Amino acid sequence: MLVMLDKVVLYEIRMPFRHFFETSFGRTYDKEAVLVEVAANDLTGWGECVACEGPFYSYEDRNTAWYVLSEYLIPWALEHQTTGPEEFLEQAARIRGHNMAKAALEMALWDLNAKREGVPLWKKLGGCRKRIPCGVSIGIQDNPEQLIDKITRELEDGYRKIKVKIKPGWDLEILERIRSRFPEIPLMADANSAYTVRDIPRLRELDRFRLMMVEQPLYDDDIAEHARLQEVLETPVCLDESIRHVRDARLALDLGACRIINIKPGRVGGLIEARKIHDLCRERGVPVWCGGMLETGIGRAHNISLSTLENFTIPGDVSAGRRYFERDTVRSPVEVEADGTIKVRNAPGIGWEPERGRIDEITVRRKEFVRQ
Ligand code: OSB
Ligand code: MG
Q: CA-to-CA distance for 202 and 179, rounded, in angstroms?
A: 17
CA 315 / ligand 1 centre spacing (Å): 14
- Average pLDDT of the residues in 48-71: 97
Q: Which residues are catalytic?
A: 165, 264
Identify the three-state secondary structure at position 182.
coil
Q: Is the CB of 57 under 6 A from ligand 1?
A: yes
Contact 147, 170 (CB under 8 A): no
Residue 56 has pLDDT above 80, yes or no: yes
Average pLDDT over all residues of the chain: 97
Q: Which atom of ligand 1 is nearest to the CA of 262?
A: 2
CA 57 / ligand 2 centre spacing (Å): 9
Confidence of residue 3 (pLDDT cuts 50, 70, 90): confident
Q: Are strands 237-239 and 214-215 parallel, antiparallel or unpaired?
A: parallel
Residue 372 has a pLDDT of 84
Instruction: Looking at the structure, tell me whether residues 230 and 366 fall in a common domain.
Output: no
Q: Is the CB of 291 under 6 A from ligand 1?
A: yes
- Average pLDDT of the residues in 166-174: 98
Instruction: Looking at the structure, tell me whether residues 177 and 246 fall in a common domain.
Output: yes
Q: Is the CB of 303 under 6 A from ligand 1?
A: no
Instruction: Looking at the structure, tell me whether residues 273 and 140 fall in a common domain.
Output: yes
Q: Which atom of ligand 1 is nearest to the CA of 136?
A: 15
Instruction: Looking at the structure, tell me whether residues 135 and 99 fall in a common domain.
Output: no
What's the number of domains the chain is made of?
2
Instruction: Looking at the structure, tell me whether residues 107 and 186 fall in a common domain.
Output: no
Residue 38 has pLDDT above 80, yes or no: yes
Residue 187 β-bridge partners: 162
Instruction: Looking at the structure, tell me whether residues 139 and 256 fall in a common domain.
Output: yes
Higher-pLDDT residue of 345 and 3 is 345
Instruction: Show the domain range for 236.
Output: 123-343
CATH number of the domain within which 283 lies: 3.20.20.120
- Average pLDDT of the residues in 275-303: 98
Residue 2 has a pLDDT of 56
Ligand 1 pocket mutation, candidates 17, 18, 19, 23, criterion most atoms within 8 A of CB: 23
Contact 342, 322 (CB under 8 A): no
Instruction: Looking at the structure, tell me whether residues 171 and 136 fall in a common domain.
Output: yes
- Average pLDDT of the residues in 317-337: 97
Q: CA-to-CA distance for 162 and 37, rounded, in angstroms?
A: 33
Distance of CA 186 to CAs 19, 98, 296, 305, Å? 24, 34, 26, 24
CA 13 / ligand 2 centre spacing (Å): 23
Residue 196 has pLDDT above 90, yes or no: yes
Residue 1 has a pLDDT of 52
pLDDT in tens, 345-371: 999 999 999 999 999 999 999 999 999
Ligand 1 pocket mutation, candidates 58, 59, 214, 317, criterion most atoms within 8 A of CB: 317
Instruction: Looking at the structure, tell me whether residues 133 and 107 fall in a common domain.
Output: no
pTM over cut 0.85: yes
